A and B are shown apart, each in its own frame.
Chain A
Amino acid sequence: MNFIPRIPIGEWAESGIDWLTDNVAGLFDVISAIFNFLVGNLTYGLTALEPLVMIVILALIAWVVRSWQLAIGTAITFLIVLSMEQWVHMMETMALVLVATVVAVVIAVPVGILAASNRAVSSVVRPIMDFMQTMPAFVYLIPAVTFFSIGVVPGMVATIIFALPPGVRMTELGIRQVDGETVEAGEAFGASSWQILRGIQLPLAVPTIMAGVNQVIMLALSMGVIAGMIGAPGLGKEVVAAISSLDLALGVEAGLGVVILAVYLDRITAALGDSATYTKSALALVQKARARRATGAL
């Protein structure tokens, strides 16, 4: 096998990363400061209130967007987390996941829109997304640590990269799926591309985009736990601690916290994307009452 030369791809990547560390350090510092600021403040906000008050608020959110059943389930399961003394860790993880999701969506949606409207962009973006999604998640942790040292920021960055692809894919899919005749109607009435995007394509793609956001959150949550290995605070750190000390009790409790948080975030975002299905949500009830008043007034 000597005739195949050894191609040092790994070394090239390493020297590339080294070059970045040496030359773009300023940018990394800025990113670091911003993420620290966002996650720090959100964590502070989530933990500043008395946990019981916070549970009531989160349960109310569940009722507003989905149903009173979810609200009750939320209250019960979050009380369990509180009694397991994992509440603060769960809020830390939640802050990490939420910030990572927001950043990922802010990047993913415009990229998805571009990919949907331009075939060339789409064919470039697709393999990059494949790469980002299939590369083992742990690998991202290494450059993240070189760039940002340990803590919440490298965890965030690795989480964003890992969670980004479904957001891009589903946005592209959602916009491409919009009925061609509807877009044509916009053109036929003289709408500009921007008016068609804002008034027709995006609103009609919302359910698909929200399904993508839901995926982003789920991936961010799983990655957020892995990020515990490089010192990101939260349930992940507890899980890593449990592994290193073979503490089954702690592992189960931290793991349960992850499950409960995952279910909550999943149900909420699923309902946001498909509000028509949840006719018993407080939001739907309010809208129905308003519509009735509007037609009654005519």
Chain B
Amino acid sequence: MPPVISAEGLYKVFGRRPARGVEALRRGSTRDDLREDGLTAAVIDASFSVDPGEMFVVMGLSGSGKSTLIRMVNGLLPATAGTLDIGGQNLFSMSPAKVREVRRKRISMVFQHFALLPHRTVGENAAYGLEISGLNRSDREQKASTALEMVGLKGWEGYKPSALSGGMQQRVGLARALAAGTDILLMDEAFSALDPLIRRDMQDQLIELQQRLEKTILFITHDLNEAMRIGDRIAMMRDGRIVQIGTSEEILNEPANDYVAKFIQDVDRSRVLTASAIMEQPPEVLGSGQGPRTAHKLLRETQNSWLVVLHRDHTPAGMLLEDDVAEAVQAGRSDLPWSPPHEMHVVRHDTPIADLFAPSAQHRNPLVVVDDDGKFLGVVPRVTLLTAAGVAHEGSPSSPSSPGAPGDTVSATGSSTVTIDQEGSEAR
């Protein structure tokens, strides 16, 4: 699918004759050079695209230009140079009337300090976008009520915003954006003014709403933990430039430069990294149709103490232990000597590693990681988990010592070219 928002080489320079600032920047001048000239370079050569249904987070400290960037996306601030397409149409070449039309139909916005109209009731605030579009009263009241119900404010229509707490006011701001029925949502530090507990609630609610409504969301924040928590992809901004775009795992594991690396020091990696990032491929897996002799051979070859058995559709069938297999071979049995079912603990690929410690401590064997459809992806031996946790604890930006590129999809079968690493042998 083509991207909903795509920006190419966006510049925003404030001051007299800003175009000369863009020229200077392209020639290699720095932000400080421009400042001496009386120009402020807020955004420098920003390019990014947001796919339909994606939660794209722009993260940066104050003064990094992220608020300017989001205001260029809906044309509140015209860019000094560059192009911006909304759904394939160039926003900057549109007439003012057409831009207003785009804002009414396609883009709505949630503001840091809510920006509710204090003289209107909650219901009238939620209906504001629809009122501007010229929808009749009964229809817009109905849509506003639906939106308010979605954010958990059913029955508050008649109150003034001043009667509501900060978190509730921002829910009204969100309802106003949702009621407008646009497919793009811009959120400018939307949760930054809320206290931490409420912020977390709102983040959860936003994730849930986005999954349900499939909105494309451009979210601005200065809080890296928030960015990592909700973002499908994150753009890191510094001094007006986008320094890195990637998933939270990519940014954690491969920071583009020292600035990003310094930034992610404080992130609680065990909350951000998921099972799929640290899991590894077992040296071999066994088809469930095989017998104990094959199992024994594989275990000997791989020097492992355990073996994962898969059904034909790649869902995990069970776990075999070395001792049991040896016994079965000696006894001449032809069926596989399953370990007790509770000995195989299955986790989903998106489980944060913080939630892996308890099951890992209870099981001798590695945790088995499956994808959304329950198909086998890999295993997390205890040692791997502890190594990853150790790295997370030190906060070093270097990637944890797990083999393979994290986040890569791992095919379950046919990979016999696996070296036996230390973790594997220590896990005996």
Contacts and interface: CB of A to CB of B under 8 A. Distances in A.
Interface string A184-205: 1111111110010001100110
A179 interface: yes
A188 B74 contact: yes
Interface string B70-112: 0000101000000000000000000000001111110111011
Given A179-B115, A181-B111, A190-B100, A195 B158 contact: no
24 contacts: A179-B113, A181-B115, A182-B116, A182-B117, A184-B115, A188-B76, A188-B107, A188-B111, A189-B103, A189-B129, A189-B132, A189-B180, A190-B103, A190-B129, A192-B100, A199-B117, A199-B131, A204-B117, A291-B158, A294-B158, A295-B158, A295-B159, A298-B157, A298-B158
Given A185-B115, A189-B103, 16 more contacts: A181-B113, A182-B116, A184-B111, A186-B132, A188-B76, A189-B104, A189-B128, A189-B129, A190-B100, A190-B104, A190-B129, A190-B132, A200-B117, A291-B158, A294-B158, A295-B158
Contact of B132 (A191, A291, A294): A191
B341 interface: no
Q: Categorize the interface residue count of chain A.
A: 20 to 34
Contacts of B159: 295
Interface string A268-298: 0000000000000000000000010011001
Contacts of B74: 188
B157 to A, nearest CB: 7
A203 B129 contact: no
Contacts of A204: 117-119
Contacts of B115: 179, 181-182, 184-185
B103 A188 contact: yes
B155 interface: yes
A209 to B, nearest CB: 13
A184 B70 CA distance: 12
Contacts of A295: 155, 157-159
Q: Categorize the interface residue count of chain B.
A: 20 to 34
Contacts of B133: 190
B113 A298 contact: no
Nearest to B133: A190
A203 B119 contact: yes
A16 B128 CA distance: 52
Given A181-B111, A185-B111, A298 B155 contact: yes
A181 B110 CA distance: 10
Nearest to A189: B129
Interface string A163-176: 00000000000000
Interface string B111-154: 11101111100000000110111000000000000000000000
Contacts of B131: 199
A179 B108 CA distance: 19
A184 B108 contact: no
Contacts of A188: 74, 76, 103, 107-109, 111, 186
